[in-house]
Structure 1
Amino acid sequence: MEASRTPALRTVAPVVALVCALAFVSACSVSDPSAGQEQSTTRAALPMAGNDLQSDYLRVIKDVLPSVVQIQASNDLGSGVVYDGNGHIVTNAHVVGDEKTFQVTTAHSEDPLTATLVYSYPEQDLAVIKLDRIPGGLKAARFGDSEKVQVGQIVLAMGSPLGLSSSVTQGIVSATGRTVSEGREGGGTGATIGNMVQTSAAINPGNSGGALVNLDGQVIGIPTLAATDPDLGGSAAPGIGFAIPASMVKTIADQIVRKGKVTDSGRAALGITGRTVVNDAFQPAGVAVVDVRSGGAADRAGIRSGDVITRLGDTDITTITSLAEALAADRPGQRTTVTFNRNGRETTVDVTLGEQ
């Protein structure tokens, strides 16, 4: 899956068809008063359901949007989510880039506030900044449980697409558990991120670091990437966006707030430096091990420099990206197998994965 960073409905046709069908039945069934009453009740229920959904939208927007801020760096603009009442704001690492200070516009500040970087963790494309002064009315967002996110769930994406602050788009959760690699072009971190939430809600430049919110008013993800379509010249593919799940956001942000850095990434690693190799037909054919970290997972399993990794568990490995994506689906301490070629001979060894 190729994706680009985002410097960040149910169709009405069946409902219209249903309304028309009901109107037709009602017009043809006037001989039964009770049936007519039932049809009238059904017709009345349809707009009522629509009003209930609209009320949910309005309630969630009123509740959560004040917790979403706009972040301005020197050369980039993105969004962030108020993490706590102490002025901590979580956002994407690619939003903060290499900078240390930022201008932040909150829902209750007429003028931008200054903020300072606490820590950036590009490996998961997450960062935390802290307001230098906490304004009145600052409201922390509520983060949901990623395990409860379901495909088909209605969600709202909140942020500052193209600099339009406090913008809201809507869609559904299209899939969960996606592993997506972020490009480095345009300031991306190059991170490979597992367990991402795919959504049809529009994710545009400036949405990065904002909030993907369910109808309970909980942040279930941080919008980060939009898929790119090679047939469209690498531009964003409409309706395919990705958000870092809330549980991972909390895991990383909690460590940064408490310790000022990430000490437990939860990301599996082999402990190697590698590069993609190609076969005689110039097709990607595996990952050549350039260096092995002493005491790491690969070192303990007997993998050496010069070995070419072709399989991790049940997954074929052809490129360094495919290896990163396979590891992103695993956990530190998990046992798996690695298949590699050494001097023309294929070998499979058991490996206990380490931590990145």
Structure 2
Amino acid sequence: MAASRSRAVRLRLMPIVPAACAALLLAGCAPGTARGSGSADPSAAGGVRAAPRAASDLQSDYERVIRNVLPSVVQIQGSKDLGSGVVYDDQGHVVTNAHVVGDQKTFKVTTAGSEQVLAADLVSSYPADDLAVIKLRKMPAGLRAASFGDTAGVAVGQIVLAMGSPLGLSSSVTQGIVSATGRTVSEGSSGGGTGATISDMVQTSAAINPGNSGGALVNLDGKVIGIPTLAATDPDLGGSAAPGIGFAIPASTVKTIAGQIVQHGKVTESGRAALGVTGRTVVGPDFAPTGVAVVSVKSGGAADKAGIRAGDIITKVGDQPVTTIASLTETLAGLKPGTKVQVTYVRGGSEHSTNATLGQL
């Protein structure tokens, strides 16, 4: 079995659901009341008779989706790490995670239907959204592109299947549901991560293990609705994986970024907002983070035009408090280029505010 570096990364989520709320949801009661054994219930009996057919139909759906989509999911092997990818078009382009390709330029690819090893080259990587595209040098017969869905149609509770090569087990499938949508997740930069902060991610209960990165999260219509990327870790358990909490980059982002890479060889319009500063987290007397000190300002950027200077300490963007670099990045990830926001900052011990029109990352 090929070795694979663990992709479980400590995550930062927005918003955070209080533990008490989660416990309340888990403790809910099923609707309806129990009947005595002597009570006749024709509708219940009908439900019992219908159950086998419903289970059979669901199993048929699973088998159909797996049969149609799994051939479009490939295994990607670099010199060190192993991951997954999804065939993007009939020209041999494969979309995957930037952290799967790392700094490598060539790869070995294995398809679901063959043990033949195919050579592929990097087209471009975009770490800001943890996406990359590689291209097969030769498109084998029978390999077809996956169909990507509409992220707007993704709903909590939808049944989904995660397809990829967890722990090197190629063409593996796990199942779960969409647990949440619209998550903003910060990926760590250690252990091979890109440090990306990605918005609108799909949270799923389908198992995502090392090697699943770059694969496919698929609905029962056979549409790829996301690219599995991260698994949560529980810091209270020494950083071990938190079961049933995984995240996938939404199909809309995948199509936007991969489409530009295929067409132009690089990302030309990121769609991500930027303030145009580099900074560092500052802490107060109690060593708690209190803001982001501006180290440098990009000439002609949003901050420069708004009058923000090196040495200023940014404490708020819009109505969102800014205490760390991560919180600033997360806030900007939820905004679009061209958005006008109020930036609050401290200069010389005094608080100021200014309006800034955000640029593009």
Aligned residue in 2 for 1:86: 91
**Residues 225-236 of structure 1 mapped to structure 2, 5 A cutoff:** 225-236=230-241
- Pick closer, same or farther for the CA change 1:109–1:5 going to 2, 3 Å: farther
* CA deviation profile, 1:322-349 (whole Å, cap 9, x unmatched): 0000000000011111100000110111
* CA deviation profile, 1:284-339 (whole Å, cap 9, x unmatched): 11000000000000001000000000001111100001000000000001111110
Aligned residue in 2 for 1:333: 338
| Superposed displacement of residue 235, structure 1 | 1.6
State whether structure 2 residue 306 is matched by structure 1 residue 301. Answer: yes
- Pick closer, same or farther for the CA change 1:305–1:112 going to 2, 3 Å: same
Q: 2:279 aligns with which of 260, 267, 274?
A: 274
Aligned residue in 2 for 1:95: 100
- TM-score, normalised to structure 1's length? 0.91
**Structure 1 unaligned residues grouped into runs of 5+:** 30-34
Q: 1:182 aligns with which of 187, 193, 197?
A: 187
C-alpha distance in 2 between matches for 1:178 and 1:312: 19
C-alpha distance in 2 between matches for 1:282 and 1:111: 56
Q: 1:315 aligns with which of 320, 323, 326?
A: 320
C-alpha distance in 2 between matches for 1:278 and 1:93: 32
C-alpha distance in 1 between matches for 2:253 and 2:278: 25
Q: In the alignment, residue 316 of structure 2 is paired with which amino acid? A: R
The answer as to whether partners of 2:90 and 2:144 remain within 8 angstroms in 1 is yes
* CA deviation profile, 1:253-278 (whole Å, cap 9, x unmatched): 00000000000001100000111011
Aligned residue in 2 for 1:153: 158
State whether structure 2 residue 353 is matched by structure 1 residue 353. Answer: no
| Superposed displacement of residue 101, structure 1 | 0.3
Q: 1:66 aligns with which of 61, 71, 77?
A: 71
- Secondary structure at 2:9's aligned position in 1? strand
The answer as to whether partners of 1:5 and 1:188 remain within 8 angstroms in 2 is no
State whether structure 2 residue 51 is matched by structure 1 residue 46. Answer: yes
C-alpha distance in 1 between matches for 2:353 and 2:157: 40
Aligned residue in 1 for 2:21: none
- Secondary structure at 1:327's aligned position in 2? helix
Worse-superposed segment, 52-61 or 255-264: 52-61
* CA deviation profile, 1:86-133 (whole Å, cap 9, x unmatched): 100000000000000000001233221000000000111000000011
**Structure 2 unaligned residues grouped into runs of 5+:** 1-7, 12-25
The answer as to whether partners of 1:5 and 1:208 remain within 8 angstroms in 2 is no
The answer as to whether partners of 1:272 and 1:289 remain within 8 angstroms in 2 is yes
Aligned residue in 2 for 1:32: none
The answer as to whether partners of 2:10 and 2:235 remain within 8 angstroms in 1 is no
The answer as to whether partners of 1:151 and 1:174 remain within 8 angstroms in 2 is yes
| Superposed displacement of residue 47, structure 1 | 1.8
Q: 2:110 aligns with which of 97, 105, 108?
A: 105
| Superposed displacement of residue 21, structure 1 | 6.0
Larger Rg: 1
**Residues 2-21 of structure 1 mapped to structure 2, 5 A cutoff:** 4=9
**How many residues were matched structurally?**
338
Q: In the alignment, residue 335 of structure 1 is paired with which amino acid? A: K
* CA deviation profile, 1:145-184 (whole Å, cap 9, x unmatched): 1111111111110000000011111111111111111111
What value does the CA root-mean-square deviation take over the aligned residues? 2.0
C-alpha distance in 2 between matches for 1:292 and 1:110: 52
- TM-score, normalised to structure 2's length? 0.90
The answer as to whether partners of 1:108 and 1:136 remain within 8 angstroms in 2 is no
The answer as to whether partners of 2:89 and 2:144 remain within 8 angstroms in 1 is yes
Aligned residue in 1 for 2:19: none
Runs of 4+ with >6 A deviation = none
Aligned residue in 1 for 2:169: 164
Aligned residue in 2 for 1:344: 349
Q: In the alignment, residue 151 of structure 1 is paired with which amino acid? A: V
| Superposed displacement of residue 4, structure 1 | 1.1
